[in-house]
Amino acid sequence: MKGVWGRLLEVDLTAGTSRSIEIPEKVYRMFLGGRGLATYLLAREFSEKWRFLDPLSPDNPLLFLTGPLTGYYPGVKLSVSGKSPQSNSVIGSVVSSEVAIELKASGLDGLVLKGSCEKPCYVYVGNGKVEIRDASSIWGLGGLKLVKQFNSLLKEDVKADPKTPFVYIGPAGENKVRTAAVMAKLAHAAGYGGYGAVMGAKRVKAVAVKGYGSLPPVNDPESLNTLFRSALGNIKERMKRFRQWGTTEGTWHTGYYLSSMPVKNWSEEWHDVKDFSHVGFELETWVKNPWADWGCPVACMKLSIAKWRGEVFITDNPDYEMAAYLGSNLGVFSPRGAVILSSLADELGLCGIQTGNVMGFAVELYEKGILTRDEVGYELKWGDVECMAKLMKDIAYRRGIGEVLAEGTFRAARLLSEKKGVDLTKYAIQVKGIAVGAHGVRSGKDYPQPISYALSVQGGDHTSVAEFPVNSTESEAWYSILDSGVVCMFTVLDDSTLLEYLNKVTGWGLDLGEFYEIGRRVITLQRILLLIGGPDAEWSAEDDDNPPRFYEPLPTGPYKGSALKREEVDELKKKYYAEMGWGEKGIPSEETLRRLGLEEFTPMLNMLH
Amino acid sequence: MPRICGKFSWIDNREVCIQYDKCVRVAEALTDLLKQVEKKTSIEAVVARIGGKLLSSSDIICEDSSITIVRVFKGG
């Protein structure tokens, strides 16, 4: 086996034991690693029982996986997966973390956590050997304080190397907030999916990994080295602007030119506040430019600082998504304000997208008089950083109205609709439990297409959109390959180069058709798990739709009046089902499963008919 | 005086051509070609090839060429 070890480490937190799981090469060839492998392992283990698996129960495995390209392709990403407490399916969430490299240098392709600790714990994997240790002294902490104290604890408790990387949760994860992220390095987050809550439900505060071995051998080291050098040079040259601005450039480009940025819970998608731009962030908040994670030639990260009321707030850029969701979506149009809220989200261990989305939902309900001051405890006002900070903390600690909002937008809308006796789901900008990424559809000027979110097996995830043609870099198949590889989308070249890379690493000799078939296989299996769903949410073809707001005309900006057309969405939906072999109701057919080598999962289809 | 044509894979292989009066860097040609078709995609998000050869942004084109342009990521 080349490029992978064929081995995962499974840790039973309840029993305090661990074992090695061998993965045959055939499985890697079919699913690669990361998102694909997680989907396969979960479907195999739970099959028809998937519907009854509570994502926040100890039975839900939490998987930290690498892929065959980890360590060889420029950059480093760790895949975090399990049954998502947001979508009740599998979300392939990724975070930049050297834990991925350390796993491979430990002779492992990944780590699977099962069960739960009786009291707060952390997991340390030192050169392949696992220890489950007491984390009581760091429970409750987040951000810089946590990182510093955990570094000391690792050194004292397990004599870990001072440079041992780790992923962790903040208070939000501990409180099983469904919008909690798995964090790394202060400002990095595996946000989509809500896996911070899964980790919190297991009472695992952090996972630290240090390996001292080599990476697994590759099939063709010499030509891989040549390809690596040429890819590195190409990426570095091409991504110069990213090095300068990161994705923060979108704050102006997407907001002003494309009119596709969430403004006040997506009631608008356009702004013309010139200071709320990449240049504004640079002038007002950036102190370091740029920085990168291991092996990344792009270096799109910055370091931002904002002072407010005697406190110092530190975060990364923030990137476009954070600036959008913790800025314009809350009516905050100042770089300083967005940095303060991004830094707070980092400290609390919250996903900025999912949390900014549910906060915008709450503020709109307040503005409309549906939520009252008595229920919230204070006034909610667009653009008011102080009340937004208060609301965010209430969510992280499940206090007051935060208890409902901590369930995420989809569930909060459902709960509040029941409580108020009116349908509030029309204010919920989410698809299948996942808040929609900060790229709108209505102006037709940004990249998402009418079915991008509606048909994605990861709901509103803007990094996994469903588009045509399916066998191309436009499609969700492509993004599922990147998440299974596991590689960062900002360091990729085209599909033929990535395939050439994969073949040099693994020696599989796949052609482009087989390459895209991997992506189709992954999303088809994800689709089955999504449709089975449960236990508290189930989806059907009717849910293959956009948030109702996207059918309302844009009220402002150069594309005022533009909206999605339902007939167009319906037509594309049918076309996509047909292209994917998913049948009229969006259910993958037996024939499709056979063609993709997924016959063993055919019995799961019985639950869907 | 190269005539450079770009074929955009994500816009139904639409082809746009520009006549230059001197040799041109790939980065500049891509920016010009992209401007002709849309403003949502940045040159960072695309990968270009001439035939089988992967182009680098700093490569210089002096001859008539047909470039295949593929978008490899969206958003951020």
CATH architecture for the domain at A239-435? Orthogonal Bundle (1.10)
Asked if A465 and A453 touch (Cβ cutoff 8 Å), the reply is yes
- DSSP per-residue string spanning A330-378: GT---HHHHHHHHHHHHHHTB-HHHHHHHHHHHHHHHHTTSS-HHHHSS
Q: CATH for B3-71?
A: 3.10.20.30
Would you list the domain boundaries of chain A?
7-210, 239-435, 575-609
Sorted by sequence, the CB contacts under 8 Å of residue A148 that are 6+ apart come out as none
The number of C-alpha atoms within 13 Å of A411 and in the hemisphere containing its C-beta is 20
> Tokens standing for A395?
């969510």
- Does A36 score more than 90 pLDDT? yes
Q: Does A252 touch chain B (CB under 8 A)?
A: no
What's the pTM? 0.98
Nearest-5° angle of CA A416, CA A419, CA A420?
A: 85
Q: How far is A129 from chain B (nearest CA, A)?
A: 37
CA distance A397 to A385: 18
Would you list the domain boundaries of chain B?
3-71
Which residues in chain A have their CB less than 8 angstroms from residue B7's CB?
Answer: none
User: Do A7-210 and A239-435 share a fold?
Assistant: no
Which residues in chain B have their CB less than 8 angstroms from residue A448's CB?
Answer: 74-75
Q: pLDDT confidence of B21, banded at 50, 70, 90?
A: very high
So what's the pLDDT on residue B1? 87
Q: How many CB atoms lie within 10 A of CB A325?
A: 29
> Tokens standing for A423?
């349908």
Asked if A346 and A183 touch (Cβ cutoff 8 Å), the reply is yes
Closest Cβ opposite residue B75 in set A240, A462, A494: A462
User: Taking CB atoms and an 8 Å limit, are A494 and B10 in contact across chains?
Assistant: no
Residue A490 sits at φ, ψ, to 5 deg, of: -85, -5
User: Taking CB atoms and an 8 Å limit, are B72 and A493 in contact across chains?
Assistant: yes
Q: How many CB atoms lie within 10 A of CB A513?
A: 8
User: Taking CB atoms and an 8 Å limit, are A473 and B71 in contact across chains?
Assistant: yes
Sorted by sequence, the CB contacts under 8 Å of residue B64 that are 6+ apart come out as B2, B3, B4
Q: pLDDT confidence of A179, banded at 50, 70, 90?
A: very high
The residue type found at A165 is: P
- Angle, helix A476-485 to helix A34-46, in steps of 10 degrees: 90
Asked if B34 and B44 touch (Cβ cutoff 8 Å), the reply is no
- Does A131 score more than 90 pLDDT? yes
Q: What is the pLDDT of residues A317-372, one digit of tens each?
A: 999 999 999 999 999 999 999 999 999 999 999 999 999 999 999 999 999 999 99
CA distance A380 to A397: 18
Specify the CATH class of A7-210 in words: alpha beta
- Does B76 score more than 80 pLDDT? no
Residue A253 sits at φ, ψ, to 5 deg, of: -60, -50
CA distance A73 to A231: 9
Q: What is the pLDDT of residues A39-94, one digit of tens each?
A: 999 999 999 999 999 999 999 999 999 999 999 999 999 999 999 999 999 999 99
Q: What is the pLDDT of residues A432-488, one digit of tens each?
A: 999 999 999 999 999 999 999 999 999 999 999 999 999 999 999 999 999 999 999
Asked if A11 and A117 touch (Cβ cutoff 8 Å), the reply is no
CA distance A153 to A139: 12
Longest CA–CA span in chain A (Å) reads 68
So what's the pLDDT on residue B52? 87
Asked if A323 and A310 touch (Cβ cutoff 8 Å), the reply is no
Which residues in chain B have their CB less than 8 angstroms from residue A259's CB?
Answer: none
Which residues in chain A have their CB less than 8 angstroms from residue B74's CB?
Answer: 439, 447-448, 462, 465
